[in-house]
Amino acid sequence: MDPTPLLRAVVERGASDLHGKVGSPPALRIGGELLRDHPSDADGVLTEPLTSESVARLAQALLTTDQQQALLRDGAVVATHSEPGVGRFRVAVFRQRGSVSVVVHAVPHDVRPIDDLGLPPAVATLASAERGLVLVASPVGGGATTTLAAMVDHVNRTRACHVVTVEDPAEVLHHDQRSLVSQLEVPTDVPALADGVRAASRLDADVVAISDLGQRDVALAALDAVARGQLVLAAIGGSSVRSAVDGVLELFSFEERPNVRQTLARSVAGIVAQRLLPATAGGLCAVAEVLIGTPKVQAVLADGDRTGELGALLADGAFHGMQTMDLALRDLVRARRITEATALGAAADAEELRIELLRTCPGGSRPDA
């Protein structure tokens, strides 16, 4: 099966993802919504239900021989695919109910600058740090990969240094600007993410970017890199600053966590937790919670009994560039970039946000819910 028509449909329709499953027509994720009905598909590329054979052939066309072997061995594989004249894509192929399914994610050709992502200025400030750990957290599909790439691009344009990215897989290609950028891909260049992070020190890296901090050995390697004086930018799952912190600690046993907590507190330069929400103008809008590693924040992170104080520090830390998710939602409603209903649905405390909107948006100046 020639993947070109399907991949071209993804790009031409502005979709972020394509889902191919046996028995269903190809589904496209557009503006955050998964759509299975494509009445304007004149060529029939998106309207015909996929057969077991057609999905298998699609997977075969998108994967190399080694990747096909990995699929047979492990039951799932994630890779990248470049289609000439169309674009670059991240491909996930997996087995379910005895058949193969495919999810294709469109990777932007150009790295979007931080300013274009609608994120607060503190994100660029964190990317400019000399050393420390910067976590970029989001749910799956929440934009952490895009933000991480934008932060690497910011370093690349503003610092004369060596940036080493460690990725599984390498999605965005960075071209040298002020910096030299080396991109290590698993398993082509290094066996695993942790191996790549440890190798970065031998490669004279100033900045290390990690596509996923979700494993114990990767987290240990990242903390060691910070101790060596490097700036480490790393993506991790989570929808809030608190969940990002918990996500790191949960990689370790209960016996290890006190020491890890102390090391993490000393290492953290900042945490960006973001989500993508439907925008009033169409498409998606980024909203972010930001924590900066001030001495007060480090003291709270170091003490497991004080983790509940993080919310107050975020709310009171505007001077340092901090903000809570709910305050960020309030500002997006005031700027008419999202609706009140969208904000309340994403809020940590919907009732408190509703009161705040009534107080700060008098006279019905809010966008329609």
Q: Are 221 and 227 in contact (CB under 8 A)?
A: no
Mean pLDDT rounded to a whole number for the chain: 91
- pLDDT band for position 368 (50/70/90)? low
Q: Is the pLDDT of residue 82 over 60?
A: yes
Please state, for a pLDDT cut of 70, what percent of the chain lies above it. 96
Tens of pLDDT along 132-164? 999 999 988 788 999 999 999 999 999 999 999
Beta bridge partners of 165: 183, 209
Pair type for strands 33-35 and 76-83: unpaired
Between 141 and 17, name the one with better pLDDT.
Answer: 17
**Residue 346 CB neighbours (<10 A):** 19
What is the identity of the amino acid at 275?
R
Q: What is the pLDDT at residue 335? A: 92
- Sorted by where each starts, the structural domains of the chain and their CATH numbers stand as 4-107 (3.30.450.90), 114-323 (3.40.50.300), 336-369 (no CATH)
Tens of pLDDT along 174-183? 999 999 999 9
Tens of pLDDT along 209-222? 999 999 999 999 99
Q: How far is CA 69 from CA 182, 286, 287, in A?
A: 28, 38, 40
Q: What's the whole-model pTM score?
A: 0.86
Beta strands in the chain, from DSSP E residues, in sequence order: 17-20, 27-30, 33-35, 76-83, 87-96, 99-107, 132-138, 162-167, 180-185, 207-210, 231-237, 268-278, 284-292
